[in-house]
Amino acid sequence: MKHVAELEGKKVLVLGLAKSGVAAAEILHELGAYVTVNDAKPFEENIEARKLLEKGITVICGHHPADLLDNGFQLVVKNPGIPYQNTIIQQAISREIPIWTEIELAFRISEANFIGITGSNGKTTTTTLLFHILNQANKHPLIAGNIGTVASSVAKDASKENVIVTELSSFQLMGIETFAPKIAIWTNIYEAHLDYHQSMEEYVEAKFAVTRNQIETDYVIYNADQETIVTKINQSKAIPVPFSLKNEQPNGIWADEENVYWKNEFFMERSKIALPGDHNMENVLSAIAAAMLLECEEEKIKHVLGSFTGVKHRTQFVREWRKRRIYNDSKATNTLATRSALRAFHRPTILIAGGLDRQHSFDELTDSLQHVKALLCFGETKERLADFGKLHQIPTVKMVENVQEAVKEAAAMSTEEDVILLSPACASWDQYPNFELRGDDFIDAVMKLSDEEAIEGM
């Protein structure tokens, strides 16, 4: 860990704990800062705060005092989930007190270079895939950010031999000053998180922060099929490396229906890539580009691409059962994500969907239903989804009570070569605390399907 002299003796407020706040508080304390943590959870219920107090860190819990900033703080490190409209954050802005997320701290203390990966969709898959490629290629990668361990904790123990592959949200990127990854990846941009960001323009600007501080010897890999990104990337100083599924990219990476090309040279056949769908192909292209820039051996890249079947709950191949292929896409909590999943398949598909009813429209699915032979609906939205399915003449539409029942029904009505796909298009909170538990319930039901010839997936 680098010693950051400017933090020694500085009065720092860590606002909001959770994993990132705890890690930031401990590191700042170790660097010689005078740290105060403020968290809404009452002290008697706050295990993290009690541990920090034992280390000599000042702790204020249970509320956010209106006069908190009167204590002369010179820096605020906030939890990414705290919006900038928060009263204390607004006070800090008016007093011109710098506001970081712990990603900025991670960058300042790190001996290792960063790869920063952001976008509306595909961050986790790209991060995980690239980590596996770099690991196979002996590049000593570490994984951090929204996936894996808190970035500042990873950076603390990283050496110059490592490279830190970091998934970054717009929330995290809004809190940087100097953060500049050696390689930045911007997967895509869609309207999202406008309850946090005040406008689409602010959201785009937050994503652009992944490359804002890069210099002429850095690289930015970006989606050349999205005009918003292309326009914004022109403001970056980094070497641009575009990826595309639509057009040739002589200075980047692209794919047609059959093959992948790196700088207009044949790289590999698409049929040898395990991840299905165009949305995943975007993730694959950006991961290949980063790996090639880091001089990974092509054969090792191809080996990982041939075996990597996805991140859990994200179009995850679960199992082949009686020649049916079964996928868990529980992370699809909106219609856009479900549309991408449906477009990944061309076989007859049984779609399992439903969940929390936010009264959103399912119309975005309309042009992706041609190969859906059956729709099984569960949760609060089951009646609306059933009406939608009948309106669009899906041959079989049935309402069920839960995911376990849906799996049994799907197995019973399926035939050889079918795809059975859980892609709910809805949040999970009507029946499950989170999409992970919903996906686990699905996997459990799928693995209970009995057949001597069943082949378990990865």
Binding residues: 119-125
Question: Which bin fits 379, alpha (ψ -120 to 50), beta or left (φ > 0)?
Answer: left
Q: Which residue has the tokens 């809190």?
A: 175
Task: Note the helical H segments in 115-221.
Answer: 123-136, 151-157, 170-173, 200-212
Residue type, 141: P
**Contact (CB, 8 A) for 78 and 100:** yes
- Cβ contacts of 279-283, under 8 Å, gap ≥ 24: 279/121, 279/122, 279/340, 279/341, 279/343, 279/344, 280/122, 280/125, 280/310, 280/315, 280/344, 281/245, 281/255, 282/122, 282/187, 282/188, 282/223, 282/243, 282/245, 283/122, 283/125, 283/126, 283/129, 283/187
Binding residues for ATP, as ranges, are: 119-125
Nearest-5° Cα angle at 278, 372 to 351: 20
Structure-block tokens of residue 200: 């689409």
Structure-block tokens of residue 48: 């993290």
